[in-house]
Structure 1
Amino acid sequence: MTDFPPRATYRLQFNRDFPFSAAEAIVPYLDRLGISHVYASPITAAVSGSPHGYDVIDPTVINPELGGEAGFRSLVDAVRARGMGMVIDIVPNHMGVAGGENGYWNDVLRHGAGGRYARWFDIDWDKPLLLPILGASLGEVIAAGDLELVDGALRLYGADGPPLRPDVPAQGDLRALVEAQHYRLASWRTANDQLNWRRFFTINELAGVRVEDPEVFEATHALYFSLFEQGLIDGVRVDHIDGLADPAGYARALRTRFDAIGGTRRAYIVVEKILAEHERLARDWGLDGTSGYDFMREVTGVLHASEGEIPLGELWEDISGRPSDFADEALTARQQLLSWQFAGQTDRCVAAFAALAASASASHPAFEAVTPAMLRRAIERLLWVFPVYRSYGVGNHGPSSDGAVLDRALADSTDFCPPGETEIARHIVEWLAGRGPGDATLAAEAVRRFQQLSAPIAAKAVEDTAFYRHGVLLSTNDVGFAPERFALDIGQFHAAMAARARDFPHAMLATATHDHKRGEDVRARLAALSGVPDIWAERVAGWMARTEGRGVDPADRYILLQTMFGAWPIDADRIKAWQTKALREAKLRSSWEAPDEAYEARAAELVDRLLADGTFTAEMEAFVRRLAPAATANSLAVALLRNTVPGVPDCYQGAELGDWSLVDPDNRRPVDYAARAALLERDGDPLSKPHLIARLLGLRRQSPALFSHGAYLPVTVSGPRAGEVLAFTRTQGAERLECAVLLKAASAQIGAGQASPGADWWGETMIDFAEPVSAAELFATAPYHINVAASAT
């Protein structure tokens, strides 16, 4: 058993090439680094060969590909032997249903709505379950011989097909047999319009699970509760809690069950939750906080110099012809995806509200004049502008925090509502707030339909579309970020840390994750551009000219150049893999549904030409070196802040060294732990990121209460460079830690050729710790300051 809360976690991505035994081998290294808890990606049985584990096929079994129960126990034994703990990632929202490996799903296909596991999945049974796994129409597939009946079983494309219902003889006309099943085989292209079960975002291979059903909750969580009871895990990170029917109810149920098992031993529970800029996690859910995307947004935002926003925005508009205002880009993406990738889900949401409106008409005759088309327009327009992932009412009750969200959604939607139909949007908002008329059961269903539509729209339209279209500065575009807030000033950062210390002092602090678009050091380097926009504009102008005439859109070329700068040096295979994904996610000149292979080939050829161009590579290397002092300072600032401010710091696998990764699967590449262990043994350079991390984690080991319960106190900075220093103390009893970092000083760092500018630049800048101290003195050798001192109290 380990003490609560974790002191520092280390995220490991398990797969069959990195099983539990591989993790066991690096436990001594993690202990020397200063980690208290391994933080594991999903450990339950997943689709064969899964690179990430989120396509769970059996939540009751530890994944045999990773080493099974024996392998997991061995890993935990190694962890416990060093006084360390284990936190695991759990996936309550969905299960993998591709390839015939999910026995629960197969039972549903065999037995339909009356099957034992039908209640596990979120399926509308008014029609046969749509199974969009064909490459063409059913008739075309049968005519081509791609679907056959062999020995009483279906064969599809030469492999096992979906199971047949046992009460229908497997004989006779093939089409008639298929149409007699509990499912309807169809082309994958029908899914967006006709799917009658909830999926994860737009992925047909991941089916939504109804954990709001107590029986399903207990069955799908029994393994986690057993592992906690046996002392094999210390807590969980909950994946995509906003996909659930009732996130608040789920979180409270999870806390209640863990508390009942643990007694005085508290489970650590954090959730993956995208918080909008002014949104706060509810304090009454029984959680320890989020998994850290909000901190990643805050710590990256405070690196950005606000004076770079306008010139970089103008540069983007000049190059791309697209808006620099991210809100415009996000609105367009929401409108496009709602009418395309979520058409069927929108249909079901409209139908639910139409039934609710009909029930309301008995007591409120005005609802007789509300048509489904009116409801559709109102729902669509609310979803275009919905300011958070979702609301949290449950039909007849809405939390007070929903009020401001719904008011803003209504106000923002009025500009788009047709004349005379704003009142319809108002009715929708009243129902979402738990105040509208009509049948309570129908209201709960309609509200759930809206909430489970608004969350995936936000994710797919904003993070997985608009983020790939918007190129003002790529370090502003990452999971959980708000690009419309270009920079965070130091006072705002202090306020965010104070709020976390007050509300969720044990929340996870992430700066790199398996979901990030760019690694933490890529973002740190890109952020430096905000301080030198003119220098960047001059440099990139030549590169843009060099890439003209290659048949690649200017916006795509500019985003490519930013990415190459951020991740340099990078090989052709990695950058081309990223580029293909970026083009398809943007959905402008290619897409996953209809790849433009000719355009993608031209874009890939451009990459090859650039990397083969000695002049270009020399210029890129020189520019990266020129900005290296600012990039290094930013990286060190992020490392220091993550490991000293209130919360539990998480280190993503391998990111203790330079994290130059891009979006998945690039951020799941194998990690060279031997090299990291060797560096840890000999490294003493204060400008070394792993040295700084190890030093800070050592302090956390020596003084755990200072970091887990210590006060966070902003420190006053005065003088000409006050806006470039973030300083604070952590105090607990007689212990005090002084911290300061240099920020937003790229121009000075470039001029000085080092991460710490000279004394002349600092002038009379003073930092008021126990007594005023010269910033030039504190930052003489490094762009940060750490000092453990006795508390003044």
Structure 2
Amino acid sequence: MKTPVSTYRLQIRPGFTLQEAAGLTEYLHRLGVDWVYLSPILTAEEGSDHGYDVTDPSSVDPSRGGEEGLAALSKAAHEQGLGVLADIVPNHMGVATPGQNAWWWSLLKEGRSSKYAEAFDVDWDFGGGKIRVPVLGSDDDLDQLTVADGELHYYDHRFPLADGTYSEGDDPREVHARQHYELVGWRRADAELNYRRFFAVNTLAGVRVEVPWVFDESHQEIVRWFREGLVDGLRIDHPDGLADPEGYLARLREATGGAYLLVEKILEPGEKLPETFQCEGTTGYDALADVDRLFVDPAAEPFLDDLDARLRAEPEPADYQAMIHGTKRRIADGILRSEVLRLSRLVAETPALPRLGVADALAEIICWFPIYRTYLPYSHEVLEEAVHHAARHRPELKGVLDALLPLLTDTSGELARRFQQTSGMVMAKGVEDTAFFRYTRLGTLTEVGADPTEFAISTEVFHERMARRQAELPLSMTTLSTHDTKRSEDARARISVISESVPEWELFLGTVQERVTIPDGPLAALVWQAIAGAWPADRSRLQSYALKAAREAGNSTNWTDPDLDFERHVAAAVDSVFDDPEVEAALDNFVAELEPYGTSNSLSAKLIQLTMPGVPDVYQGTEFRDGSLTDPDNRRPVDFDARIAALAELDSGAKPEYTEEEAKLLVVSRALRLRRDHPELFGGYRPVQATGEAAGHVVAFDRGPEGHGVLTVATRLPKRLASDGGWRETAIEIPVDSRDELTGTAYPAGPLKLGTLLEQYPVALLVPVD
């Protein structure tokens, strides 16, 4: 198996095609990258910037460069010695525009007799033999239907007509009634939809890749990539939505000739991938959480809890477990009610098992899940524990819960399979996309894949986790930023300094709230942390983020029934950054307080991520400082010309001192080159202990297989370090004569004072000198 040493993620889209990516391969090689990592490239909904709404799995998207673009990218990458990792989307297809998706068009036109009726996951009986399509403003909008060119039209939406269902002059409503689909009001999707989706996105319809022919047809183009040597590995999007992830991975491994595979899987603390999964690991959110928590000051937790309680006007801070039970229940009873009701219809209704009681009990079990899903028979104890908690919380449901447990553990039954597919949906929407916008004591903690109740970790805990990662998942990806992170690595690095600056944070938040109040204290904390983390940023970016954050939180406004008056308050707060001199001055002063320490955190976190066990990924553009917020902000175009020029100047050695962006580029390029060009210096993991008063402020480890390899040294909690008097006599022991790859300075074996080693940068990258 060909495996990567590192990857660099590129967002391929109509505005940045595969041909343009091919032109970057020389730069990526010079940067030190080993593989180029592509976002989805199969044909997607026209105008899609992300590509996760595939409409034609048999072709590379022409707007992204097409087959010729992939060939050009692959050729250029391989000539530079780079492998190619491609992102694929087996769980769902884009169906927003039926005319663009031949599979969906056939399903709508032919109904159950369509070949693709087996490909999509439709409960036909519940829909009375029809598939419900929630596109109408309301059910009354059927009056807006027209028939033209042999198709049914609703404004700009086009739908096929079954053969023999239309004659000239027929009433459009009557024509609609003869079809294999039923157009319904969009609000009915919450409880009455009868096809599986990706989460609650009506325009992404679930695909049954567990059916052999569906797998074959949906993967024929992907298999060609491997047959022709165009692609070397795959990232699998959302495997938790699949009916049989284990079987899918085995089939994919065989189809690709044993290629390197990663799954986009969120592992909760303590959770492990099933050993039978044929993949090399995850896309790295678990690693991100471990790195972030090194830079959060544990001493701040009670103070930030106290502030959180005051912002909520409650005697106690938010109870996270109670919060996520509530948010998950809100999702299960709201936008994903259709999925829960579909589960309930699989249980034979009796007086002891009434339909609505079963739905209530199933939702309650899901809301007690501590992980995204089980992979029965793995993690069966999680399911049993969730049923136990549900019964204790809702004793009136105990009889129903007891009856459901054996059905939910029966892996031969449809209920058990569908339940596993559903629990992750509720977790993602209830936690990532709701609670993470409500639990706001420190924005660093609410990142995808993290448990925000784990406030900080010690270096000892970090070293234990890294040793386990080296032993169990050495080829799993590590990351700090992705197209899905709520805040970029550099925004989080700066926000983490708030844990060392609680009085300054309280003063700043009080000042801006007094000038222009966001009448939702926890949301105000979230928004102002994000603004401080992203600053400088333009008005439109911050407005978009604040509006999305407010609606995702769902406390004071929401997506479906927005409170426009509240949203005006939020918009006014953002505007004040640009229009109110006092707010602008307060923000500038607060950011200036955080910035030097945020920069230290940024460089330290990056060096740790690039040299720790695993395969490090660099998200596009983050070799410079990047203050992006949640999507689509983190998918903006990247100025690669600036990075190419900066790397050339850096390599020339013409400048004695570097800007913040150049310093990060230095760290990224030197660490990536070292990993690629000197693999013999990696392969093990040994913590390196410091001695002295400031020993708790250093993270150091040796990656040599026998303890004499690359030695990473990074600074943690830099503001407290500075206020306590700096490094003083704190030192580490270096086992052999070494050179710092970042400064070029040589050091003899023996004790080395950190004040000397880290005089220029908060990090050092030591390599043995022959």
Q: Which TM-score applies when normalising by structure 2?
A: 0.93
Cα distance in 2 between the residues matched to 1:331 and 1:456: 14
SS of residue paired to 1:50: coil
1:778 correspondence with 2:757:
yes
Cα distance in 2 between the residues matched to 1:342 and 1:320: 28
Residue number in structure 2 paired with 1:105: 104
1:726 correspondence with 2:699:
yes
Residue number in structure 2 paired with 1:134: 136
Q: CA deviation at 1:695?
A: 0.8
1:524 correspondence with 2:493:
yes
Which string of whole-angstrom CA distances, capped at 9 and with x for unpartnered residues, describes residues 464-504 of structure 1? 01111121011111111111111122122112211211111
Residue correspondences, number: 741
Cα gap change, 1:308 to 1:598, in 2 (>3 Å): same
Q: Which among 637, 640, 652 is matched to residue 673 of structure 1?
A: 640
> Equivalent residues in 2 for 1:647-726 (5 A)?
647-683=614-650, 685=657, 688-707=663-682, 710-726=683-699
Q: CA deviation at 1:151?
A: 4.0
- The amino acid of 1:73's aligned partner reads A
Which string of whole-angstrom CA distances, capped at 9 and with x for unpartnered residues, describes residues 122-152 of structure 1? 1111121001111121xx2243xx2112243
Q: CA deviation at 1:763?
A: 3.9
Which string of whole-angstrom CA distances, capped at 9 and with x for unpartnered residues, describes residues 66-107 of structure 1? 121011111111111111111100000000001121110000
Q: CA deviation at 1:680?
A: 1.1
Cα distance in 1 between the residues matched to 2:108 and 2:355: 32
Cα distance in 1 between the residues matched to 2:769 and 2:364: 57
Q: CA deviation at 1:729?
A: 0.5
Which string of whole-angstrom CA distances, capped at 9 and with x for unpartnered residues, describes residues 717-774 of structure 1? 333223222111011369511112111232333x4xxxxx8xx533443324425433
Q: Is the 8 A contact 1:131 1:184 kept in 2?
A: yes
> Equivalent residues in 2 for 1:4-23 (5 A)?
4-23=2-21
1:743 correspondence with 2:726:
no
Residue number in structure 2 paired with 1:433: 409
Q: CA deviation at 1:224?
A: 1.1
> Equivalent residues in 2 for 1:197-212 (5 A)?
197-212=195-210
1:469 correspondence with 2:467:
no
Q: Is the 8 A contact 2:504 2:590 kept in 1?
A: no
- The amino acid of 1:164's aligned partner reads L
1:409 correspondence with 2:408:
no
Deviates more, 1:719-728 or 1:291-300: 719-728
Cα gap change, 1:160 to 1:385, in 2 (>3 Å): closer
- The amino acid of 1:586's aligned partner reads A
Q: Is the 8 A contact 1:142 1:148 kept in 2?
A: no
Q: Which TM-score applies when normalising by structure 1?
A: 0.90
Residue number in structure 2 paired with 1:392: 375
Q: Which among 287, 307, 325 is matched to residue 295 of structure 1?
A: 287
Q: CA deviation at 1:371?
A: 3.4
Q: CA deviation at 1:449?
A: 2.0
Q: Is the 8 A contact 2:152 2:176 kept in 1?
A: no
Cα distance in 2 between the residues matched to 1:575 and 1:481: 24
Residue number in structure 1 paired with 2:398: 422
Cα gap change, 1:151 to 1:432, in 2 (>3 Å): closer
> Equivalent residues in 2 for 1:604-683 (5 A)?
604-683=571-650
SS of residue paired to 2:81: coil
Q: Is the 8 A contact 2:94 2:204 kept in 1?
A: yes
Q: CA deviation at 1:241?
A: 0.5
Which string of whole-angstrom CA distances, capped at 9 and with x for unpartnered residues, describes residues 294-353 of structure 1? 111111122111111111121122123364332222122112111111212111111213
Cα distance in 2 between the residues matched to 1:741 and 1:586: 35
SS of residue paired to 1:736: coil
- The amino acid of 2:124's aligned partner reads W
Cα distance in 1 between the residues matched to 2:347 and 2:686: 49
Q: Which among 346, 349, 353 is matched to residue 352 of structure 1?
A: 346
Which string of whole-angstrom CA distances, capped at 9 and with x for unpartnered residues, describes residues 164-192 of structure 1? 11142345332222112111111111111
Q: CA deviation at 1:705?
A: 4.2
Residue number in structure 1 paired with 2:744: none
Cα distance in 1 between the residues matched to 2:166 and 2:511: 70
Q: Is the 8 A contact 2:437 2:523 kept in 1?
A: no
Residue number in structure 2 paired with 1:213: 211
Cα distance in 1 between the residues matched to 2:489 and 2:299: 22
Cα distance in 2 between the residues matched to 1:18 and 1:334: 37
Q: Is the 8 A contact 1:45 1:64 kept in 2?
A: yes
- The amino acid of 2:251's aligned partner reads A
Provide the identity percentage: 37
Q: Is the 8 A contact 2:597 2:719 kept in 1?
A: yes
Residue number in structure 2 paired with 1:268: 260
Q: Is the 8 A contact 2:721 2:727 kept in 1?
A: no
- The amino acid of 1:761's aligned partner reads G
1:115 correspondence with 2:114:
yes
Q: Is the 8 A contact 1:519 1:662 kept in 2?
A: yes
- The amino acid of 1:380's aligned partner reads A
Cα distance in 1 between the residues matched to 2:405 and 2:6: 42
- The amino acid of 2:668's aligned partner reads I
Q: Is the 8 A contact 2:698 2:715 kept in 1?
A: yes
Q: Is the 8 A contact 1:377 1:417 kept in 2?
A: no
SS of residue paired to 2:115: coil
- The amino acid of 1:378's aligned partner reads A
Cα distance in 1 between the residues matched to 2:174 and 2:40: 41
Residue number in structure 2 paired with 1:281: 273
Q: Is the 8 A contact 1:283 1:503 kept in 2?
A: no
Q: Is the 8 A contact 1:352 1:449 kept in 2?
A: no
Q: Which among 275, 299, 302 is matched to residue 310 of structure 1?
A: 302
SS of residue paired to 1:478: coil
> Equivalent residues in 2 for 1:355-370 (5 A)?
369-370=352-353
Cα distance in 2 between the residues matched to 1:410 and 1:590: 32
Cα distance in 1 between the residues matched to 2:50 and 2:352: 50
Q: Is the 8 A contact 1:525 1:566 kept in 2?
A: yes
> Equivalent residues in 2 for 1:84-103 (5 A)?
84-100=82-98, 101-103=100-102
Q: CA deviation at 1:556?
A: 2.8
Which string of whole-angstrom CA distances, capped at 9 and with x for unpartnered residues, describes residues 38-71 of structure 1? 1000010000010110000011100010121011
Q: Which among 331, 338, 341 is matched to residue 335 of structure 2?
A: 341
Q: Is the 8 A contact 1:474 1:562 kept in 2?
A: yes
Residue number in structure 2 paired with 1:381: 364
SS of residue paired to 2:24: helix
SS of residue paired to 2:159: coil
Which string of whole-angstrom CA distances, capped at 9 and with x for unpartnered residues, describes residues 233-268 of structure 1? 000000001011111111122112223xxxxxx511
- The amino acid of 1:696's aligned partner reads A
Deviates more, 1:177-186 or 1:3-12: 3-12
SS of residue paired to 1:57: strand
Q: CA deviation at 1:649?
A: 0.8
Cα distance in 2 between the residues matched to 1:170 and 1:14: 45
Q: CA deviation at 1:447?
A: 0.7
1:765 correspondence with 2:730:
yes
Structure 2: any 5+ residue segments left out of the alignment? 736-749
Q: Is the 8 A contact 2:39 2:50 kept in 1?
A: yes
1:234 correspondence with 2:241:
no
- The amino acid of 2:408's aligned partner reads L
Q: Is the 8 A contact 2:623 2:668 kept in 1?
A: yes
Which string of whole-angstrom CA distances, capped at 9 and with x for unpartnered residues, describes residues 353-410 of structure 1? 337xx7xxxxxxxxx73433443332122111111001112xxxx12xx133224323
Residue number in structure 2 paired with 1:364: none
SS of residue paired to 1:369: coil
Cα distance in 1 between the residues matched to 2:704 and 2:223: 36
